């Protein structure tokens, strides 16, 4: 089953357009094909068009916001034309079958509609708070306590911590009126109070607060930008529990590319995090291949600066490595994942994070959302030793918050379950002959185009 969008052929052309102008319009309208017949285990999404700056990030962003997993991919551009091929699955590891999802991908990739708003924090009608600074135990609890005291209701929020730093995007409104906070004096008071909290008793430098009434285009990308600006990649943890992701950068002098190779544990939105970071560092991805094997991902990118030059120094090479490692680690699932569903009320987040803190648990990552009267939040929590919280501590928290109006549960992420299921299926498949139609198709597509672009030699 294949779905194809090519609006240039569907539209009725105005009489004043000549054939050349029609061709230009066709060339600048991405051709999107979504096919469920080629690969037995994944849906193929193919996009090709005249090259457009930043389109790769836009395409990957659309897929990431739909919680679509990219299992294999091929990226190619000759400078004027690009073709991106993605083998994707849904969050349960199956093909894409929901017609509304397929239609959304087609429309978003073809026209760009929805791309800017996808993944946004719903900032319309809300005041946006941006916080960065040094992380410490209980800091998030203090932030939510200050907001509750100032009668700022948190409607949505995302919090990342990495290498001893914290970045928060908070979407708030006046608790009484439900309106955005626009009074300049009150905004200054919110910034001042939060600034004192971030600096702590010792006046730690580097704390930043910003208040805006403008919507954030994309929360995850903004969090990457905030942590990058905070230079979290330069702050190694005092005692790293695991080796950093494997990232290498080499120059291919003959072709004028820098080759970036990444090998690490696979997870949702991994490709988005990497492409987002390369884009914000002002590199252009011309070619690339992405492959996953079980829970391991291998990604390779051929990049240049916007001016067409490769990486020019050892210091720059090391900076790219550090920044990509940080981008991969920021979303790492450190801690035990805890979900809280409750009727929303003033001070809810302050109460739950204080309860975590009083039971020796600290939040490393959080996502808050409110729909109607219900709040749906998840937290990654660790204990004082930096290890994932144990179930006894979670049970103590559950007893404190009660069970009447709130539900607190520990729930493993769906993609981890899918990885285990895929590993078992792969073991069974190894006993059978053949490599799979989908892999054969993608492999030949990659080799043929890399050869045509002069990136590999013919073996014949």
pLDDT digits (tens, 9 = 90+) for 266-321: 999 999 999 999 999 999 999 999 999 888 999 999 999 999 999 999 999 999 99
The DSSP H or E segment spanning 348 is helix 348-358
Name which of 142, 137, 143, 176 is nearest 346 in CA terms.
Answer: 176
Half-sphere exposure of 188 (CA within 13 A, CB side): 3
- 402 phi and psi, to 5 degrees? 80, 175
Low-confidence winner among 31-35, 233-237, 367-371, 446-450 (lowest mean pLDDT): 446-450
pLDDT per residue as tens digits for the range 355-386: 999 999 999 999 999 998 899 999 999 998 88
For the chain, list the domains and their CATH numbers: 127-216+334-412 (3.30.70.260)
Structure tokens at 131: 């916080």
Name which of 20, 97, 93, 110 is nearest 58 in CA terms.
Answer: 110
Residue 121's pLDDT is 52
Neighbours of 154 (CB within 10 A): 26
Rounded CA separation 409/411 (Å): 6
**Mean pLDDT for the stretch of residues 443-453:** 48
The DSSP H or E segment spanning 264 is strand 257-265
pLDDT of 127 higher than 90 = yes
What does the mean pLDDT of the chain come to?
83
48, 67 Cβ separation under 8 angstroms: no
- Greater model confidence, 87 or 410: 87
pLDDT of 52 higher than 80 = no
Residue 283's pLDDT is 96
330, 160 Cβ separation under 8 angstroms: yes
pLDDT per residue as tens digits for the range 71-100: 999 999 876 788 999 999 998 889 999 999
pLDDT of 184 higher than 60 = yes
C-alpha distances in Å from residue 279, one per residue of 15, 160, 263, 286: 40, 20, 19, 12
Rounded CA separation 113/116 (Å): 7
Helix (H, G, I), strand (E, B) or coil at 108: helix
Residues belonging to the chain? 460
280, 319 Cβ separation under 8 angstroms: no
Q: In what order do the strands lie in the sheet with 374-382?
A: 208-212, 127-134, 165-174, 152-162, 362-371, 374-382, 336-343, 406-410
Residue 382's pLDDT is 93
What's the longest Cα–Cα distance across the chain?
74
- Greater model confidence, 144 or 15: 144
DSSP string, 130-183: EEEEE--TTHHHHHHHHHHHTTEEEEEEEEEEETTEEEEEEEEEETTT-S----
C-alpha distances in Å from residue 145, one per residue of 148, 177, 274, 288, 347: 5, 19, 34, 46, 7
Helix (H, G, I), strand (E, B) or coil at 115: coil
Contacts of 107 (CB under 8 A, 6+ apart): 5, 113, 114
Rounded CA separation 130/30 (Å): 35
Structure tokens at 163: 């290498």
């Amino acid at each position: 089953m294949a779905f194809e969008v090519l609006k240039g052929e569907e539209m009725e052309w105005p009489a004043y357009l000549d054939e050349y102008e029609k061709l230009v319009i066709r060339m600048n309208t991405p051709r999107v094909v979504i096919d469920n017949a080629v690969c037995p285990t994944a849906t193929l999404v193919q996009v090709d068009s005249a090259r457009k700056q930043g389109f790769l990030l836009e395409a990957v962003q659309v897929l990431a916001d739909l919680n679509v997993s990219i299992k294999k991919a091929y990226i190619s551009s000759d400078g004027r034309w690009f073709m991106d091929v993605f083998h994707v699955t849904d969050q349960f590891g199956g093909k894409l079958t929901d017609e509304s999802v397929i239609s959304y991908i087609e429309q978003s990739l073809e026209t760009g509609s929805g791309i800017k708003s996808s993944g946004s924090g719903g900032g319309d009608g809300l005041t946006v708070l941006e916080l960065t600074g040094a992380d410490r135990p209980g800091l998030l609890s203090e932030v939510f306590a200050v907001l509750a005291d100032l009668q700022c209701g948190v409607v949505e929020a995302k919090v990342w911590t990495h290498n001893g730093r914290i970045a928060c995007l908070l979407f708030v409104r006046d608790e009484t009126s439900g309106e955005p906070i626009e009074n300049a004096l009150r905004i200054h008071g919110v910034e001042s109070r939060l600034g004192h909290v971030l600096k702590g008793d010792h006046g730690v430098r580097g704390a930043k607060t910003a208040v805006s009434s403008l919507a954030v285009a994309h929360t995850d990308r903004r969090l990457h930008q905030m942590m990058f600006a905070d230079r979290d990649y330069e702050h190694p943890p005092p005692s790293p529990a695991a080796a950093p992701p494997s990232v290498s950068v080499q120059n291919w002098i003959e072709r004028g590319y820098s080759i970036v190779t990444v090998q690490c544990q696979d997870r949702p939105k991994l490709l988005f995090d990497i492409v987002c970071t390369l884009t914000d560092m002002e590199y252009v991805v011309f070619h690339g291949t992405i492959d996953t094997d079980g829970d391991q991902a291998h990604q390779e990118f051929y990049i240049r600066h916007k001016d067409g030059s490769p990486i020019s120094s050892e210091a720059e090479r090391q900076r790219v490595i550090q920044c990509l490692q940080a981008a991969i680690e920021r979303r790492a699932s450190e801690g035990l994942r805890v979900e809280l569903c409750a009727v929303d009320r003033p001070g809810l987040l302050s109460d739950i994070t204080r309860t975590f803190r009083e039971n020796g648990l600290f939040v490393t990552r959080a996502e808050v959302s409110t729909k109607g009267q219900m709040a749906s939040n998840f937290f990654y929590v660790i204990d004082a030793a930096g290890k994932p919280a144990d179930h006894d501590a979670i049970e103590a928290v559950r007893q404190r918050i009660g069970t009447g109006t709130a539900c607190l549960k520990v729930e493993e992420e769906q993609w981890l379950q899918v990885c285990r299921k895929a590993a078992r299926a792969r073991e069974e498949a190894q006993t059978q002959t053949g490599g799979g139609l989908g892999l054969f198709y993608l492999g030949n597509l990659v080799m043929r185009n890399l050869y045509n672009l002069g990136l590999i030699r013919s073996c014949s």
